[in-house]
Amino acid sequence: MSEKTSMIEIAKGYQEKLVEWRRHLHQNPELSFEEKETAAWIRQYLKELDIPTLDHVRGNSTVGILKGEQPGPVLLFRADIDALPINEVNDLPYASKVPGVMHACGHDAHTAVLMGFADYLSRHRELIKGTVKFVFQQGEDRIPGGGRYIVEDGVLEDVDYVVAWHCAPEAEVGTVIATGGPKTASFDNFEIRIKGVGGHAGFPFRAIDPISTGALVVTAVNQLIPWTVDPFETATLIVSRFEAGKQSAHNVIPEEAVIEGNFRSHNNEMAGQIYERIKETAENICRAKGCSCEVVKLEGYPALYNHEKVTAYLKECLNREGIQAVSGKPIMGAEDFAFYTKVCPGTYFNVGIRNPERPETNYPPHNPGFCIDEDVMMYALGTFLTAYRELTDGALDLLKD
């Protein structure tokens, strides 16, 4: 790919197609792990481009592969294809046709951009150095996460670098956020089941109250972050449910209480330590109060980490290309692309979708009014093209430093 080639100009040439693809996807959303028709549509297009696909990838994920005649790295570019159980309120000619299901997180735009990227490289195979993998991934927005399966299915075993992007409502269209280091947080859920001995309010000494025990557990668990986490690190913990005594009578001491919550960190090792402290704290309090308890970790996604040197270099390249690239703060939201970056170096970009002249583009993801400025796709495609050029022309040497 020539240094003189303007990546954003190439991307502009695809804008009409990107909009067409994205609107088709927006009208026909499918929930996580149910993306059968979306996958079939993507596979048919890859077939038309003569891009072969892997046959050992489970479910509705699709992995297209292009191999060049020139030597080079194995690069993977990913888009998520699933929609959300949300009823769209936007009055658009291409609004969702499926009641209660909506692309409210921008995955339709992510998919359209990866299709455009695959289209361009398939028509310019002389530019390909090494191998490119195009991953159209199922189930990003639902545990256990389609990214987990992509890794388990061996798709990343020979990959040198991974790249993805996500819509960013906090940034204006035309801006790319390229942040090295921690990007998104890990998240895991926990459940604590406390078993006591039920009884009558007139004879509480004959019972073992799981409610008062649970209250002590809730108070102690909510204090674990300041107790155990360095204030210069990042972690959050919440208790989101405390339930006991479903009986209607006011004078009944129940047998069981249930506590549920969520904890997050930008440090995967720390996340494991937080869970061990939750477990230890609950078990010790319950033992002291005469109750038994069961603590279960419901595993979510790991923390996502962008390779610092390569990401910083790609940010410089984007700015030279005329695409405004800036640094941003890590967030406590989660993203299953973290399964990729846990086993392979990579960069996860955020690309602005907000247009100050269009207030409808101010809604956050997972909102029934979520709407994007479709020019975001042009900048995202330009970002993919620029990243591909640089990663095949020496940027990966930074991995050796």
CATH number for the domain harbouring residue 279: 3.30.70.360
What is the pLDDT, as a whole number, of residue 153?
97
Query: Cα separations (Å) of 97 from 17, 24, 26, 88, 391?
Result: 21, 10, 8, 9, 39
Alpha helices in 229-355 (DSSP H): 268-289, 308-320, 338-343
- Amino acid identity for residue 47 in this structure: K
Count of the separate structural domains present in the chain: 2
End of a domain among 286, 301, 316? Answer: 301
- Summarize pLDDT for 99-146 with one digit per residue, the tens: 999 999 999 999 999 999 999 999 999 999 999 999 999 999 999 999
- The answer, yes or no, to whether the previous bond of 144 is cis (omega within 30 of 0) is yes
Whether 13 is covered by a domain: the verdict is yes
Max CA-CA distance within the chain?
85
Domain match, 162 and 36 both:
yes
Domain match, 170 and 42 both:
yes
- Summarize pLDDT for 300-346 with one digit per residue, the tens: 999 999 999 999 999 999 999 999 999 999 999 999 999 999 999 99
C-beta separation of 68 from 129 below 8 A: yes
What is the pLDDT, as a whole number, of residue 4?
58
What is the pLDDT, as a whole number, of residue 249?
85
Is the pLDDT confidence value at 161 over 70? yes
Domain match, 107 and 217 both:
no
Domain match, 34 and 110 both:
yes
What is the pLDDT, as a whole number, of residue 401?
73
Tokens of 306: 């962008």
Of 382, 384, 309, 383, nearest to 345 by C-alpha is: 309
Q: What is the CATH number of the domain that holds 174?
A: 3.40.630.10
- Of the pLDDT bands very low, low, confident and very high (cuts 50, 70, 90), residue 276 is very high
Domain match, 279 and 135 both:
no
Whether 110 is covered by a domain: the verdict is yes
Main-chain phi, psi angles of 15, to 5 degrees:
-55, -45
Domain match, 264 and 308 both:
no
Is the pLDDT confidence value at 5 over 90? no
What is the pLDDT, as a whole number, of residue 245?
86
Tokens of 83: 């929609």
Whether 1 is covered by a domain: the verdict is no
Domain match, 148 and 55 both:
yes
Choosing from 30, 35, 82, 390, which is the catalytic residue? Answer: 82
Whether 2 is covered by a domain: the verdict is no
Is the pLDDT confidence value at 184 over 60? yes
Average pLDDT over residues 19-47: 98
Domain match, 231 and 195 both:
yes
Separation CA 202–CA 323 (nearest Å): 72
What is the pLDDT, as a whole number, of residue 1?
55
- Summarize pLDDT for 203-262 with one digit per residue, the tens: 999 999 999 999 999 999 999 999 889 988 999 999 999 999 877 688 999 999 999 999
Domain match, 194 and 180 both:
no
Domain match, 28 and 49 both:
yes
Residues 6 or more apart from 40 whose CB is under 8 A from it?
A: none
Main-chain phi, psi angles of 290, to 5 degrees:
85, 10
Query: Cα separations (Å) of 307 from 263, 303, 366?
Result: 24, 13, 28
End of a domain among 253, 273, 301? Answer: 301
Average pLDDT over residues 173-178: 96
Annotation marks residue 230 as catalytic? no
- Amino acid identity for residue 338 in this structure: A
What is the pLDDT, as a whole number, of residue 194?
98
Count of CB atoms situated within 10 Å of the CB of 261: 19
What is the pLDDT, as a whole number, of residue 316?
97
Domain match, 50 and 179 both:
yes
Whether 223 is covered by a domain: the verdict is yes
pTM of structure: 0.94
Whether 159 is covered by a domain: the verdict is yes
- Domain range enclosing 249: 189-301
Whether 232 is covered by a domain: the verdict is yes
- Helix, strand, coil percentages, rounded to 5, for the chain: 35, 30, 35
Long-range contacts for 43-46 (Cβ within 8 Å, ≥24 apart)? 45/115, 46/118, 46/134
Choosing from 30, 88, 119, 140, which is the catalytic residue? Answer: 140
End of a domain among 301, 319, 340? Answer: 301
What is the pLDDT, as a whole number, of residue 237?
97
Separation CA 228–CA 270 (nearest Å): 10
- Summarize pLDDT for 68-99 with one digit per residue, the tens: 999 999 999 999 999 999 999 999 999 999 99
Complete DSSP assignment for 325-372: EE-----S---TTHHHHHHS-EEEEEEEEEBTTBGGGGPPTTSTT---
Tell me which of 159 and 248 has the higher pLDDT: 159
Domain match, 297 and 309 both:
no
Of 138, 145, 141, nearest to 85 by C-alpha is: 141
Annotation marks residue 126 as catalytic? no
Whether 12 is covered by a domain: the verdict is yes
Separation CA 330–CA 159 (nearest Å): 25
C-beta separation of 163 from 314 below 8 A: no
The mean predicted confidence, pLDDT, of the chain is 95
